[in-house]
């Protein structure tokens, strides 16, 4: 009986892990300067010039704001993206220099 209960708990735990709907999203800094990344207004990380880094996100409903700012606080990237938007971008967000 105890063995069956233990096996049941293990299989339930494995099923929960296997169904984790998270995804790696790669941020690419295509600028010649460091940028600070923000998710929903909270600092998420810093990328050096030309650096890229993958962050893991759990699947979410609705939109999330993503932003990148240079050292002077100038916004280089700012968009509200749905899970489907990220998927259609092949899980990549590219930050580029502003053109004026």
pLDDT in tens, the chain (100 residues): 554 444 454 444 444 444 557 889 999 999 999 999 999 999 999 999 999 999 998 999 999 999 999 999 999 999 999 999 999 999 999 999 887 6
Q: What is the distance between the alpha carbons of residues 34 and 73, in angstroms, rounded to a whole number?
A: 11
The DSSP call for residue 100 is -
DSSP 32: S
pTM, two decimals, is: 0.76
Pairing of strands 63-69, 35-39: antiparallel
Q: What is the dotted CATH code of the domain comprising 21-95?
A: 2.60.40
Q: How many CA atoms lie within 13 A of 89 on its CB side?
A: 17
- Sign, CA torsion 48/51/57/62: positive
């Amino acid at each position: 009986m105890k063995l069956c209960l233990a096996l049941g708990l293990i299989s339930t735990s494995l099923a929960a892990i296997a169904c984790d709907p998270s995804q790696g999203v790669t941020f690419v800094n295509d600028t010649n300067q460091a940028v600070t990344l923000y998710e929903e207004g909270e600092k998420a990380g810093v990328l050096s010039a030309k650096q890229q880094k993958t962050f893991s996100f759990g699947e979410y409903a609705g939109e999330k704001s993503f932003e990148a700012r240079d050292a002077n606080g100038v916004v280089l990237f700012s968009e509200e993206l749905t899970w489907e938007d990220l998927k259609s971008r092949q899980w990549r967000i590219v930050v580029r220099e502003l053109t004026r």
